[in-house]
Structure 1
Amino acid sequence: MSATAGQADGVRSPADRFGIEPDSVVMEMGYDDDVDEDLRDALAERCGELEDEDTDEVVDAVLLWYRDGDGDLFDLLTNALGPLADTGVVWLLTPKAGRDGHVEPSEVSESAQTAGLQQTSTVNAGKDWTAARLVSPRGAKKK
């Protein structure tokens, strides 16, 4: 078997793992000096500049960096849904277990469910971060 583009040495790029396409519009929330810059660079390289949370555009994905103590997760998820396209996805990035700001998976699950989202997968988002893929159940998104 041969490796496909972006999968040399069996390693997929972060943009592949996150399903980011070249024409995707990606909004970022919760940016701080502890985020994974390599991940941000890889996503921006694929789709162009990341939009900030004040964007007026409809977005295909939201990259939400969240640490314990960053405020109410339910409120942040609800804010992320505003500009999200009907088929969009929220990538909730939280520090891995043992890292400062770690968020318990039960908090992620409960907050996502309360916000009307369901978790479909989790991916390694770098040395210090884990990303949960959150989507609206089909037909459940309200305008």
Structure 2
Amino acid sequence: MEQKYDAATNVVDDTSLLDELGLKPDTLIQEIGLDDDVDDDLRDVLEEHLDEPLIDEDEQEVVDVALLWFRDGDDDLTDALMDALTTLDEGGVVWLMTPRSGRDGYVPPVEIQDAAPNAGMHVTSSAGVSANWAATRLVQRKA
């Protein structure tokens, strides 16, 4: 898939990134799993182009998107996905951010495919959004 960042400068292409993630200026995004290893350039682009700041994981506001940063060695992925659903609006999306292959904390795609149905979700697509992080789009299964 075409990557949305310039590996030489590690700069994210703003317009294509927002299109790729299906985000509009009024999208409310809750960020979960924030740590010092996340992609700050990606976070900066999101905050700059959205009318609302990223919402802290401790807030209970209903959101359109959950941006879940997850690494191998974090708690259970199924549990993390289920937690991401607690404030997600009906029809909302979880963007699961995992370290790319070869990076510390890499999560194999098979683990995501296994965890998603256990959390009542399914994988729909992926996006190239960062030099170090892969994005996987998950949605709730229809009842």
TM-score (norm 1): 0.86
1:19 counterpart residue number: 22
1:123 aligns with 2:127: yes
Instruction: Give the structure, 1 or 2, with the largest relative contact order (CA under 8 Å, sep 6 or more).
Output: 2
- Structure with the bigger percentage of strand: 2
Q: Is the 8 A contact 1:95 1:102 kept in 2?
A: yes
Q: Could you tell me which amino acid in structure 1 is paired with residue 39 of structure 2? A: D
2:45 counterpart residue number: 42
**Which residue among 26, 33, 37 is the counterpart of 2:36?**
33
Shift of 1:56: 1.9
Report the count of equivalent residues: 129
Where 2:98 maps in the other structure, the secondary structure is strand
- Structure 2 alignment gaps of length 5 or more: 1-12
1:110 aligns with 2:131: no
Shift of 1:86: 0.6
**C-alpha distance in 2 between matches for 1:79 and 1:46:** 26
**C-alpha distance in 1 between matches for 2:24 and 2:128:** 19
Deviation digits for residues 55-112 of structure 1, max 9, x if unmatched? 1211000000000001111111000001001110000000011000000111111111
TM-score (norm 2): 0.86
**Which residue among 43, 62, 65 is the counterpart of 2:66?**
62
Shift of 1:46: 2.0
**C-alpha distance in 1 between matches for 2:60 and 2:71:** 25
Shift of 1:122: 0.5
**C-alpha distance in 1 between matches for 2:23 and 2:91:** 13
- Structure 1 alignment gaps of length 5 or more: 1-10
